[in-house]
Structure 1
C-alpha cells in the first residue's frame, strides 16, 4: 500500500512539473464559427463589405508562452462574396483578384507578441495575387473553454489594413479606395 501511495505521489509530482505544451487547433469553418471579411470605401461615399466563404487553417497556442503561437490560413479567393453577383464576377476577374491565375491567398505567421492584456500583434507573410508581403495583425483573444459537444475551443479576432496595389492589384477606384480593411474572427477546435 505504501508503494502504491508513493508511486501515485511521484506520478502526480512529475505530471505537475511537466512543461505545458502548445495546444493545436483546427479553425472551425465547417460549423461556420470563423470569418474572413473585408471592407473598402466605395468612392468615399459608403462602405463595400464582403467576405471569403471558403478557407481553412490551423493555429497553435500556449497560454504559458503566447510568443510561440503559430497560425496558417489558406483562402479560396474565388469564394469572394460581396452580396452582388455581377460585382463579384468583376472582382474575381483579371482587373482585381484574377482567381484563374491566383486561386489562393495564404497567411503564415512568423511571430506573435503578446501585450499581456489579452491582445497582441501577429506578424507573418501574406500571399495575395501572387505577391508575398509581411503584415501585422492586431489580435484580441475572445475566450477559451469547453463546448457543449465535449470539445475545447479558443477564439480570437484580428484586423489589418492592406494596400492592394502592394500586391499588384492596381485597378484605380480613386484615392478613397486605396486601402482595404480585413477583419478575422477565428474559433478553433482543439485537436
Structure 2
C-alpha cells in the first residue's frame, strides 16, 4: 500500500511538473507590479519614481526559455515620485513630456536562461519616441497556481542612460544613469464567461 501511494504521488508530481513547464501566456497584475526608477541627485540623495498602472503580457516557456517574451506599456500618467511637485516636473517637457508622449513601452527581443532561476532579458525600451536596447537581469521567484489559475512572479534589475531617450535635463548634476528595479506577478487570464459559471 505504501509503495502504491508513493508511486501515485510521484506520478502526480510528474504531471504537475509537465503542466507547469508548458508555455503559457500571462497578464501582468498592475496591483502587484512595481517599476521603480532611482537616480543620483547632485550627489546628495537618490530619489525614486514608481510607474503605476502597468499593462503587459508575458509568455513564459520553462522548457525552452528562448521562446519566452514580454511586452509592457507604462502610462506616464501613472508616474508617481511620492512628491507632487517632483511628479509634475518629471511629467513635464523637461523630462518625459507626458502630454506629447503619454506612454513608454518595453518589448523583449531575446530571453536567455542563465541557469537555475536566473534569466537575461534583452529588449527595446521606447521613451519619447526614442528606442534603445536595454538588458534586464531577471529572477524567477515562483511559478504555481492561485485561485485555480497559473501564476508566476519575477524580479528584475537594469540600468539605462536617460540621455539616450532625450530625457537630458539638468545633466550632469542629475545623473544620466537611472537604475531600474522591477517586481511583478502575472496570471493566465480566465476564459471569457468563466466568472459567470
**TM-score, length of structure 1 as denominator length:** 0.85
Distance 2:129 2:156 in 1: 23
Superposition pairs of residues 42-191 of structure 1, within 5 angstroms? 42-147=41-146, 149-175=147-173, 177-191=175-189
The count of residues paired between Structure 1 and Structure 2 equals 171
How far has the Cα of 1:153 moved from its partner?
0.7
Which residue in the other structure is 2:29 paired with?
28
Q: Where in structure 1 do 4 or more consecutive aligned residues deviate above 3 Å?
A: none
Superposed CA deviations along residues 93-143 of structure 1, whole A, max 9, x for unmatched, are: 100000011100000111101011211110111101110111111111101
- Structure 1 residues without counterparts, runs of 5 or longer: 1-16
**Which one is further off, 20-29 or 74-83?**
20-29
Q: Distance in 2 between matches of 1:61 and 1:178?
A: 32
Distance in 1, Cα, partners of 2:104 & 2:188: 24
Residue by residue, what CA displacement relative to the aligned partner does 1:128-177 show, whole Å, maximum 9, x if unpaired?
A: 11101111111111011122x22221011111111110001110243561
RMSD of the alignment, in Å? 1.7
Q: What secondary structure, in the 3-state scheme, does the structure 1 residue paired with 2:169 have?
A: coil
* Structure 2 unmatched ranges of 5 or more: 1-17, 190-197
